[in-house]
């Protein structure tokens, strides 16, 4: 009997280890931050609530980097149960110091849908490009009454990924008899965007999306469902994450999380569909992906992923209902 219990425990542990795991981080007071797991930054843009999905291991070294460099950084060794969605709270303790605290966990099958205000990212081993950066220039001019006018320029640049400051001081002396003192401050913010993340809604108005599109698919002139499709590199990483799971239900959960926060090409949707064994699952994914697809005029090409005519007819009926 004792050997039987040991065997059951081992099998349960192996089963949990192979399951999908999500981690959620949120700041109690709304401070924006980046999440770094095993030295790899996960979110391209600093947010107050971040969900990292598809984690293959039960523990990670975590670093929290606040968008505001004055708040510093946090280091935490994370250990959690596989097959769960585990939530951590970023807050101040009784001493006024920022800490990362375990809050709760639920089985992945019982996890609620991702809310609109939560940034969901698939675990990656390649850091995304920074979504935004800020550069502040401060110029101060002073004068003296001894016939020499002095001036100084301070340049402070904040790296949003590391939170480190790079400063440069330049002093300039110019002859003159000016008896006044003045101070001027200039602030310039530079923002760069990344196509790796984005919140897209189902494409009910294709013309509206087309007018704001910034990406052009060579040889395609049809209607557009969303802007800026996922890059081949990002898509390869996502596809690998999905295919690494053993069960269609787990694959479908990850696929929907990725699709709901990105824009895909119809060819990419088809590739994801082919990762699933069952016809019904492929059909469900095809319907879900329609509102998050760039070249929706090519959606007929997904028919090749089906074995039964009934699936093709059902998808075509669904697509026509969205036009």
Which pLDDT belongs to residue 276? 93
Domain annotation covers residue 88: yes
Which pLDDT belongs to residue 109? 85
The number of C-alpha atoms within 13 Å of 106 and in the hemisphere containing its C-beta is 7
Domain end among 102, 122, 142:
122
- Are 229 and 258 in contact by the 8 Å Cβ rule? The answer is no
Domain annotation covers residue 118: yes
- List Cα–Cα distances, 221 to 205, 240, 298, 323, in angstroms: 16, 30, 10, 17
Q: How many domains does the chain have?
A: 3
Handedness of CA 31, 37, 39, 44 (dihedral sign): negative
Q: What secondary structure does DSSP assign to 129-160, as a single string?
A: PPS--EEEEEEEEEE-SSSEEEEEEEEEEE-T
Domain annotation covers residue 181: yes
Which pLDDT belongs to residue 112? 86
Q: Are strands 49-53 and 165-175 parallel, antiparallel or unpaired?
A: unpaired
User: Which DSSP symbol is given to 293?
Assistant: B
pLDDT in tens, 118-135: 889 998 887 676 554 444
Residues 94 and 162 in one domain: no
Residues 222 and 279 in one domain: yes
Q: For residues 239 and 127, what is the distance between their CA atoms, to the nearest angstrom?
A: 17
Which pLDDT belongs to residue 197? 37
Strand order in the sheet with 134-143: 165-175, 148-158, 134-143, 182-188
Domain annotation covers residue 305: yes
Which pLDDT belongs to residue 214? 63
Which residue in the block uniquely carries the two structure tokens 């959960």?
A: 253
pTM for the complete prediction? 0.40
Along the 323 residues of the chain, how does pLDDT read in single tens digits?
555 545 554 444 444 444 678 999 999 999 999 999 998 999 989 999 999 998 888 889 999 999 999 999 999 998 888 889 999 999 999 899 999 999 999 998 888 888 877 889 998 887 676 554 444 434 444 444 444 444 454 545 455 445 555 555 545 444 444 444 444 444 444 444 443 333 334 444 444 344 444 688 889 989 999 988 988 988 998 899 898 888 888 899 999 988 988 999 999 999 999 999 899 999 999 999 999 999 999 999 999 999 999 999 999 999 999 87
Which pLDDT belongs to residue 202? 42
Residue among 81, 42, 83, 51 at smallest CA distance from 250: 83
C-beta neighbour count of 299 within 10 angstroms: 23
Angle between helices 266-273 and 279-289 (to 10 degrees): 160
- H-only helix segments in the chain: 2-17, 206-211, 232-243, 248-260, 266-273, 279-289, 309-322
Which pLDDT belongs to residue 115? 83
Which pLDDT belongs to residue 322? 85
- Are 273 and 302 in contact by the 8 Å Cβ rule? The answer is yes
Residues 230 and 305 in one domain: yes
- Give the range of the structural domain holding residue 61, as residue numbers without chain letter: 2-122
Which pLDDT belongs to residue 80? 86
Residues 144 and 87 in one domain: no
Residues 158 and 74 in one domain: no
Q: For residues 42 and 238, what is the distance between their CA atoms, to the nearest angstrom?
A: 13
Domain end among 122, 148, 171:
122
- Phi/psi of residue 238, nearest 5 degrees: -65, -45
Which residue in the block uniquely carries the two structure tokens 């060819």?
A: 267
- Phi/psi of residue 291, nearest 5 degrees: -75, -5
Q: What secondary structure does DSSP assign to 84-119, as a single string?
A: EEEEEEEEE-TTS-EEEEEEEEEEGGGPPPPPTTSE
> In CATH, what number is assigned to the domain containing residue 54?
2.60.40
Residues 104 and 145 in one domain: no
């Amino acid at each position: 009997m004792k050997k039987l219990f040991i065997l059951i425990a081992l099998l349960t542990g192996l089963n949990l280890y192979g399951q999908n795991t999500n981690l959620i981080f949120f700041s109690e007071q709304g401070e924006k931050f980046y999440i770094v797991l095993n030295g790899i930054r996960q979110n391209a843009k600093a947010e107050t609530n971040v969900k990292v999905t598809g984690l293959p291991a039960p523990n990670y070294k975590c670093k929290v980097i606040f968008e505001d460099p004055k708040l510093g950084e946090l280091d935490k060794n994370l250990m959690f149960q596989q097959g769960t969605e585990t939530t951590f709270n970023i807050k101040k303790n009784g001493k006024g110091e920022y800490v990362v605290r375990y809050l709760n966990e639920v089985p992945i099958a019982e996890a609620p849908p991702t809310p609109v205000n939560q940034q969901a990212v698939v675990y990656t081993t390649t850091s995304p490009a920074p979504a935004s950066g800020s550069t502040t220039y401060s110029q101060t001019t002073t004068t003296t009454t001894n016939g020499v006018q002095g001036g100084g320029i301070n340049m402070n640049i904040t790296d949003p990924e590391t939170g480190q400051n790079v400063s440069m001081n330049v002093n300039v002396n110019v002859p003159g008899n000016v008896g006044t003192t003045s101070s001027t401050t200039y602030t310039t913010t530079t923002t760069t965007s990344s196509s790796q993340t984005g919140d897209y809604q189902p494409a009910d108005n294709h013309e509206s999306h087309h007018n704001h599109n910034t990406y052009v698919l060579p040889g395609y002139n049809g209607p557009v469902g969303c802007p800026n499709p996922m890059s081949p590199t990002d898509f390869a990483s996502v596809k690998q994450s999905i295919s690494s799971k053993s069960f269609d239900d787990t694959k479908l959960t990850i696929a929907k999380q990725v699709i709901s926060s990105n824009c895909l090409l119809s060819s990419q949707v088809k590739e994801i569909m082919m990762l699933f064994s069952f016809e019904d699952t492929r059909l469900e994914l095809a319907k879900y992906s329609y509102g998050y697809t760039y070249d929706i005029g090519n959606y007929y090409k997904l028919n090749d992923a089906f074995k039964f005519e009934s699936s093709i007819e059902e998808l075509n009926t669904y697509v026509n209902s969205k036009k």
